[in-house]
Amino acid sequence: MRLARVGQAAIAMAVCAIAAGACARRGPEHAPGTVQIDIESSPTSTDPRFATDAISSRINELVFDSLVRISGDGEFTGDLAERIERPDPTTIVFHLKHAVQFSDGRELTSRDVKFTYDSILAPGSMSAKRAGMIELAAVAAPDDYTVVMTTRHPYAPALELGLQGVVPVGTPLPAESIEAAPPGTGPFAMRSYRRDESVTLVRNPYRTTPFDGAREILFKVVPDPTVRALELAEGICNLSENNLEATVLPWLERHRALAVSNTPGTTYRYLAFNFHDSRLRDLRVRRAIAYSIDRAAIVNSMLRGTARLATGMLAPESWAYVGDVMSYGYDPAKARRLLDEAGYRAGRDGMRALRFEFKTTPEGARLAEVFQAMLKRVGIRLEVRTLEWATYYGDIQRGNFELTSLQWVGIEDPSYYYMVFDTAMAPPRGSTNRGYYSNPEMDALVEAGQRTLDPAARKEIYARVQKLAALDLPYVSLWWVNTVAVLDRDLRGFEPYPNGSLRSLAEVTLAAPGGAEPAQ
């Protein structure tokens, strides 16, 4: 009798739940013609003058155009600029396209460009972009369609300065603005920004929309990777890029409505050494570590083929790439020999008097354990220290580590070699040469690379840089991470970029959900 009542209560609750659920299914989550993309966290800023994180960049480049842009094959191409001149080594002249309009109808002129750069360069701007523009001395607007940039020194990677998204003159600082985002000249305009929930983009009314092109893009914040996978499987989400776990890819591949795209990327993962450690200053020890890591096995099993074995920081997509450099295949016997030569003989248990601390974040802990097991095979003990991100990052930037593994994202120009390997960029003066690597030959090369404007001569310099880096091994090059996108088969025309850009969303069309589950 009592149990019967429990049963009744349970049925009543279930009916309530069905009723509530039925109500929820009636209102569609987004309109037809909307592409939903799940992202792992909110963009930190919708103002391109301030945003530096990857998600903000991905979204902002759909809303804001810049003077130049990086194409799918890694080349600089004009965006707002139709023509670029370099009359002398410290001057770049950008001739702007005419009749370009912001999403509020205003026409773009050189004054908008100058305003954008000036508001970043202002000493009190508190923009994280300022540091990257340290070489930029001034931006002038001699007429409505000409922008002249002057650099402090002859500066080879100067075109990178033109990658800044442009906002209209007079745009207030984010804290003083009530708009979702400033207007831009890009294919989309931001309609709403709800922190930690979603970002909605609509078409820029002053730009021609391709026939059938997606009318709206909804970026929905879904922090849990399993839930992102579920939303794709369910047809709620149409696209997820570079934010799914490799282990769920085979499961997603089995869904007929989904396509998994796994294409080369430029994000570079490396193992870093600290050169303040005398044991690691010994090239034989560094090489032994390189030989004892079975990169191919990691890429094939743990990463499920979503990466390419790297020869250096620059990926083959770069114009300056050189592939015939010293490489380190998996060779534990060679590693043992090198360690013996370096004076670290194995004890009776096969272990040597070599113990390193390997710092990592919780996300990197699995990889760290793989390294630990692989180094143990040659007699090196690795102590894995897992730290929360901010603590870890602080330690790495101060050079407070022995071994660690990190990645560089968005390597477009070989001038990054200067930041990463030049003696002057080591802490405390800089923070990007975190392992205190110092080699006069490398310094001379990367400094020359910064000043040399002639493309052929630059290419030659960076060929030598890449060969030297592989020989001298300040980093063990691990792999280049692929761009992995899982998308709805109804989504046509999506082109993955090596750097993860979503720029092709301007051209995609979303076929009517024929047969597929309509978006919930």
Partner 1 sequence: MIRYLIRRVFALVPVALGVATLTFALIHLVPGDPVVAMLGDTAAPADLAGMRHQLGLDRPVLAQYASFLAGLARGDLGESISYRQPVARLIAERYPATLELAAAGLLVAILIAFPLGFIAGAKPGGAGDIGAMGFAILGISVPHIYLGPLLMIVFSLDLRWLPLTGRGGIAHLVLPALTLGTALAAIVARMLRQSLIAVSSSDYMRTAIGKGLSRRAALLRHGLRNALTSVVTLLGLQLGGLLTGALIVEMIFSWPGLGRMLISAINARDYPLVEGCVLTFALTYVVVNMATDAVYAMVDPRVSLK
Which residues contact partner 1 by CB under 8 A? Answer: 2-3, 6, 9, 13, 17-18, 20-25, 29, 41, 44-45, 50, 52, 123-124, 126, 128, 130-132, 134, 173-175, 194-197, 220-224, 226-227, 230-231, 233-234, 236, 388-391, 393-395, 397, 419, 428-432, 520
State how beta strands 34-39 and 216-221 pair: parallel
Name residues whose C-beta falls within 8 Å of residue 102's C-beta, 6 or more positions apart in sequence: 108, 112, 168, 183, 184, 185, 206
Q: CA-to-CA distance for 482 and 500, rounded, in angstroms? A: 9
DSSP 8-state secondary structure symbol assigned to residue 403 = E
Q: CA-to-CA distance for 308 and 320, rounded, in angstroms? A: 18
Tell me whether residue 26 or residue 348 sits nearer to partner 1 (CB atom).
Answer: 26
Tell me whether residue 291 or residue 416 sits nearer to partner 1 (CB atom).
Answer: 416
Tell me whether residue 68 or residue 222 sits nearer to partner 1 (CB atom).
Answer: 222
Residue 44 Cβ vs partner 1, minimum distance, rounded to whole Å? 6
Integer-rounded Cα radius of gyration of the chain = 26
Tell me whether residue 289 or residue 406 sits nearer to partner 1 (CB atom).
Answer: 406
Residue 429 Cβ vs partner 1, minimum distance, rounded to whole Å? 6
Tell me whether residue 31 or residue 333 sits nearer to partner 1 (CB atom).
Answer: 31
Tell me whether residue 82 or residue 224 sits nearer to partner 1 (CB atom).
Answer: 224
Backbone phi, then psi, for 81, in 5-degree steps? Answer: -85, 130
Residue 390 Cβ vs partner 1, minimum distance, rounded to whole Å? 3
Residue 499 Cβ vs partner 1, minimum distance, rounded to whole Å? 16
DSSP 8-state secondary structure symbol assigned to residue 112 = H
SS3 286: helix
324: exposed, middle or buried (C-beta count within 10 Å: 0-12, 13-18, 19+)?
exposed
Cα distances (angstroms) measured from residue 88 to each of 132, 154, 453: 21, 9, 10
> Cis before residue 428, ω within 30 degrees of 0?
yes
Residue 126 Cβ vs partner 1, minimum distance, rounded to whole Å? 6
Name residues whose C-beta falls within 8 Å of residue 125's C-beta, 6 or more positions apart in sequence: 49, 119
Beta bridge partners, 143, equal 146
Residue 140 Cβ vs partner 1, minimum distance, rounded to whole Å? 24
Q: CA-to-CA distance for 244 and 260, rounded, in angstroms? A: 11
CA angle 129, 63, 509 (to 5 degrees): 140
Tell me whether residue 117 or residue 328 sits nearer to partner 1 (CB atom).
Answer: 117
CA angle 494, 48, 422 (to 5 degrees): 95
Residue 340 Cβ vs partner 1, minimum distance, rounded to whole Å? 38
Residue 80 Cβ vs partner 1, minimum distance, rounded to whole Å? 24
Tell me whether residue 126 or residue 297 sits nearer to partner 1 (CB atom).
Answer: 126
Beta bridge partners, 94, equal 84, 147
Tell me whether residue 233 or residue 478 sits nearer to partner 1 (CB atom).
Answer: 233
Residue 401 Cβ vs partner 1, minimum distance, rounded to whole Å? 13
